[in-house]
Structure 1
């Protein structure tokens, strides 16, 4: 992996903060979809929720230089189209020149911090539509977790609808990641990946805002992958699969690949957005993990 010069990044940030906007302005862009009509996006927006763990390491993503090195390696691999991240990480990648010719997706709502009592009042504390437009980025992404027992979900639903409108008004794609969620006896929030719950979440997300013209879905593979064909009949919106949390063993990683492989054959599924399982694979080989995921497309 290429070593990231943290001292140089800090020097630019402290002495030339305008360098970030300048790098964004001159960044060569590309269409959202290439000739293949498929998308392979690497995700790194977890830290802004305080979600730093991978497997048994609760602070795996806390080393920013290490994360940036893994991202730069992933983005350099053939078939990787781009990255999804928050402003701090995208600013670093702009300064490193790693986003040229890549799809750049800004993460919009990060207010629902992992483990917080307000986790479902998921306010838009990240990129706004105007930021994504100003920085010449290519798309936005938001997380929509719906708990029928938590009034915070209503705030998230309403602000999600307005984000759909704001992005559509600018002709910018917005990837909506919906879940039906609930708290367990220990108070921890979990996502329901049953076929019925995922179907319901897709139906709700598809109808938000005044137009769905620029809305994409970012969906999980259901507990039973055989249910995915019926689940994905719920909407005609284009969709990508999310990677989700993968266990710490090579066997669990291989199992995730197989789940993605089958779902990628469905007509509305256009690609993958995967984060920790590719950046921090069980065997430590980032390039091989990324290449395997690209091969599934």
Structure 2
């Protein structure tokens, strides 16, 4: 299809049955698959776990088919593969926008918008755009990233679309995942753009989540990340955090697509069971 009839991508987007309303639950379960776009292919001790696109699509179609899964967060290439496969009917779809800050690159904090833009997200009938906003005080590229994120928030809101901002207080050594670090990142992120009317946040589960969530009035989704060798502890932390005010669901990728034991369906079902009925 990609060789002979590439126009079928736009056709599939035009006729895709979109999600209407919030569904039966007040909280959302979104499957994330935008890590490959910045060269982040590792899961646990497997540095190229996400390297096979065919295997990733198999895992994604299975995850999206499970009861209670509301949608997808991904880059255009993955969204388009899943459109052609018919796997996005009735789902929320959030397009990932800035993937230019490649993992480990000298320009990592100058996180260019190399994937979706707000105009295309609207034309493809997606539901919003997600942007990574790493804030490093000793990295000059942070300024360009902040400006670009602010512009994207404004443009998405003008089109009536969700702007999902994922902020981190960061450095070359990694993210500051202390409660204070996450609170600082939240406060910078929620001020981006000419309006916050359509802004949602995507934040990690850390200690003192009650205090962290008191930093914002914006709707918040919790990100999963890589649970490593302690998935039970990770799931316990998610289960506790999703009960807090302001939390409207989970956005999880690698932890569910490449779980310990490789049972994708069971991992997804476990995560869905944590959400409000």
TM-score strictly above 0.5: yes
Q: Counterparts of 1:32 and 1:162 in 2: how far apart (Å)?
A: 27
Q: Does 1:55 align with 2:39?
A: no
Match of 2:87 in 1: 98
TM-score (normalised: structure 2): 0.98
Task: Give the number of the structure with larger relative contact order, counting CA–CA contacts within 8 Å between residues 6 or more apart.
Answer: 2
Q: Does 1:258 align with 2:236?
A: yes
Name structure 2 gaps, 5 residues minimum: none
Residues 1-297 of structure 1: pairs in structure 2 closer than 5 A = 12-31=1-20, 33-184=22-173, 190-222=174-206, 224=207, 227-247=208-228, 249=229, 252-297=230-275
Q: Counterparts of 2:185 and 2:55 in 1: how far apart (Å)?
A: 35
Q: Counterparts of 1:32 and 1:135 in 2: how far apart (Å)?
A: 19
1:85-132: CA deviation from partner (whole Å, max 9, x where unpaired): 000001100000000000111000000000000000001001000111
**Secondary structure, in 3 states, of the residue corresponding to 1:15?**
coil
C-alpha displacement of 1:32: 5.6
C-alpha displacement of 1:33: 2.2
Aligned-pair Cα RMSD in Å? 0.8
Q: Counterparts of 2:39 and 2:148 in 1: how far apart (Å)?
A: 22
Answer yes or no: is the 8 Å Cα contact 1:32–1:103 preserved in 2. no
Q: Counterparts of 1:195 and 1:137 in 2: how far apart (Å)?
A: 33
C-alpha displacement of 1:246: 1.5
C-alpha displacement of 1:31: 2.8
TM-score (normalised: structure 1): 0.91
Q: Counterparts of 1:245 and 1:75 in 2: how far apart (Å)?
A: 19
Q: Counterparts of 1:114 and 1:31 in 2: how far apart (Å)?
A: 36
**Secondary structure, in 3 states, of the residue corresponding to 2:2?**
helix
**Secondary structure, in 3 states, of the residue corresponding to 1:287?**
helix
**How many residues of Structure 1 are paired with residues of Structure 2 in the alignment?**
275
